[in-house]
Amino acid sequence: FIRNGEKCDTPAGIAHYLEHKMFDTKDGNALQVLSQNGAEPNAFTSNAMTGYYFDCTEHFEENLRILLSFVSVPYFTDESVEKERGIIGQEIRMVEDSPDWQVYERLLACLYRSSPARVPIAGTVESIAGITAETLYDCHHAFYCPSNMALCVVGNVDPHAVIALAEEVLPRERGEEIARCYGEEEDGAAAQHETVTQMEVALPQFLVGFKCETNEGDLLRQSLIGEMASDVLLGDSSPLYQRLYDEGLINSSFGGGFDQLPGVAVLCAGGESGQPQQVSDA
């Protein structure tokens, strides 16, 4: 990203690392506090965003206050960051052993030359070795500000009370605008046409991907069109699905989808098959 006219580069996996550490507070751990308060909290990091959320049937406003507070006020120590490194490293190794994750990550790496989407969300064991409390604070300062946040609440609540609470807890300063850098502009050609990884699986898993043009001005429309095209062309009622299934080339795991990220748009299809090359050729 670019801040104050200077390009800032952070270790791969820092957004995911930050998600792990944001629950730490000076008074303890926000996950435990929310759980003790009757909520079911969790978080996730994708290629496009990090989200923190909870479900509850009581103490909603108190739980929302806790959530908004800990995402706004980071608390990292060198010791806690170092301790988390081993936990995240183990998580990375688990993902590396997951055929589902591997086939998707390698598809993006085949299609794109410089997009950050090529890099695993959690980073690598080597990249997270460069993450410190200082880099986490810097990343939080850059991105965890009201101008870069969205709050979504669903349920029998008073919207005005929610807005008032958010205005009370969140920082008054909207934060500086951060320019994103998504790599060099991509053309329509894939960076690499095929990659094969040997893993111990009952049946080979495969993904075939098509690099689509991105339409940054109308993301919702493009996403809806992509999903509809995926259902029509690749769904279980499509002629292609029926033909491949009848020929014994695919099983019920076969499916398609359309993924859209900043600077990335991919229509893909895949699943399990004993003859993945024949499916691709079809």
Residues carrying an active site annotation: 19
CA dist., res. 62 & res. 71, Å (int): 15
The candidate with the shortest Cα–Cα distance to 80, out of 72, 88, 68, is 88
Which secondary-structure segment (H or E) carries 258?
strand 255-261
* CB-CB contact of 124 with 92 (8 Å): yes
The candidate with the shortest Cα–Cα distance to 216, out of 168, 163, 247, 180, is 180
Measured at the CA of 243, the angle between CA 237 and CA 247, to 5 degrees, comes to 135
The candidate with the shortest Cα–Cα distance to 124, out of 78, 85, 76, is 85
- CA 217, 122, 212, 237 torsion-angle sign: negative
Encoded amino acid at 84, one letter: E
- CA 96, 100, 105, 109 torsion-angle sign: positive
Cβ count near 116 (within 10 Å): 18
